[in-house]
């Protein structure tokens, strides 16, 4: 990790950063001052999923120095826990205080179907995996992070306000994370509705758990890309909708960061 930290500092010519964003499927932040392929960062895993380019971008949003990880790692790829933890751990070691994972998700609740962007304030982990597994041997009771405090309430309110100011249909959201890579059955969607879920994704929740473990404040945003009750579900279509709505997400992200 030390070599990765030093390489990012060397290329960006910055010693620390304020915010880190993780881009979900097809989500980009646009132009940046500096772009670093993951392949140039020592020990960093490489992306393998379409829509996850594997580039670390550095840009400024007002007075904030922001890192944007264009591409993440998923358990359904067969990744190990350390790979899932890598981006949050690198961010924390670079001085990041606010961690913002984003994702594309399928809308479950009708309010999500009628909206464009969700600000996640709680989640249900249905992956059967946890990136902190085994760390008790090294960190002891520190691994018992409080799930009720995963999402910073002030940040959630800030990004909901940003969505309102940017005239983007933004709603508070409960996210369910499944392991994937298959999309949900009709019965699974009905189960998610009963559980009180607004949307479902195959990512983000492991990032949130790891980011809390490393001491960062967290808020997460999602693009609703499809109605889970519709019979058709396709990754290419998810990427297409992500790109179409990406400009709105960028606006909300930058507006929210300026309010932090």
Q: Is 74 a catalytic residue?
A: yes
Number of neighbouring beta carbons within 10 Å of residue 194:
8
Catalytic residue among 4, 32, 92, 104: 104
Q: Is 203 a catalytic residue?
A: yes
Q: Is 76 a catalytic residue?
A: yes
Q: Is 52 a catalytic residue?
A: yes
Catalytic residue among 20, 107, 162, 202: 202
Catalytic residue among 76, 93, 125, 157: 76
Catalytic residue among 121, 226, 242, 255: 226
Q: Is 214 a catalytic residue?
A: no
Catalytic residue among 105, 109, 203, 212: 203
Catalytic residue among 4, 20, 61, 74: 74
Q: Is 35 a catalytic residue?
A: no
Query: Which of 225, 219, 204, 224 has its CA nearest to residue 255?
Result: 219
Q: Helix or strand or coil: residue 173?
A: strand
CA distance 35 to 52: 14
Q: Is 202 a catalytic residue?
A: yes
Handedness of CA 83, 89, 93, 98 (dihedral sign): positive
Q: Helix or strand or coil: residue 95?
A: coil
Q: Is 182 a catalytic residue?
A: no
Catalytic residue among 4, 20, 25, 162: 25
Token code pair at residue 258: 């300026």
170 burial (CB, 10 Å; 0-12 / 13-18 / 19+) is buried
Catalytic residue among 32, 38, 44, 52: 52
Q: Is 226 a catalytic residue?
A: yes
Q: Is 242 a catalytic residue?
A: no
β-bridge pairing 98-107 and 19-23: parallel
CA distance 84 to 210: 8
Catalytic residue among 77, 165, 188, 193: 77
Active site residues: 25, 52, 74, 76-77, 104, 202-203, 226, 235
């Amino acid at each position: 990790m030390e070599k990765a930290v030093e390489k990012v500092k060397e290329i960006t010519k910055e010693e620390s950063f304020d915010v880190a964003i993780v881009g979900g499927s097809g989500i980009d932040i646009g132009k940046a001052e500096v772009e670093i392929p993951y392949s140039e960062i020592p020990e960093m895993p490489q992306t393998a999923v379409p829509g996850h380019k594997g580039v670390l971008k550095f840009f400024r949003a007002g007075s904030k120095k922001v890192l944007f990880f264009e591409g993440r790692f998923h358990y359904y790829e067969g990744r190990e826990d350390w790979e899932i933890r890598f981006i949050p751990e690198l961010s924390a070691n670079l001085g990041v205080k606010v961690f913002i994972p984003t994702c594309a998700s399928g809308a479950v609740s009708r309010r999500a179907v009628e909206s464009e962007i969700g600000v996640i304030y709680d989640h249900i982990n249905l992956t059967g995996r946890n990136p902190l597994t085994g760390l008790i041997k090294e960190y002891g009771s520190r691994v018992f992070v409080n799930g009720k405090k995963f999402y910073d309430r002030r940040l959630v309110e800030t990004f909901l306000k940003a969505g309102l100011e940017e005239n983007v249909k933004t709603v508070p959201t409960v996210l369910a994370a499944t392991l994937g890579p298959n999309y949900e059955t009709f019965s699974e969607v009905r189960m998610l509705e009963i559980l009180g879920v607004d949307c479902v994704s195959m990512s983000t929740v492991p990032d949130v758990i790891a980011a809390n473990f490393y001491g960062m404040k967290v808020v997460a945003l999602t693009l609703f890309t499809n109605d889970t009750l519709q019979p058709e579900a396709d990754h290419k279509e998810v990427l297409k909708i992500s790109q179409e709505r990406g400009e709105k997400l960028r606006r909300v992200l930058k507006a929210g960061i300026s309010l932090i």
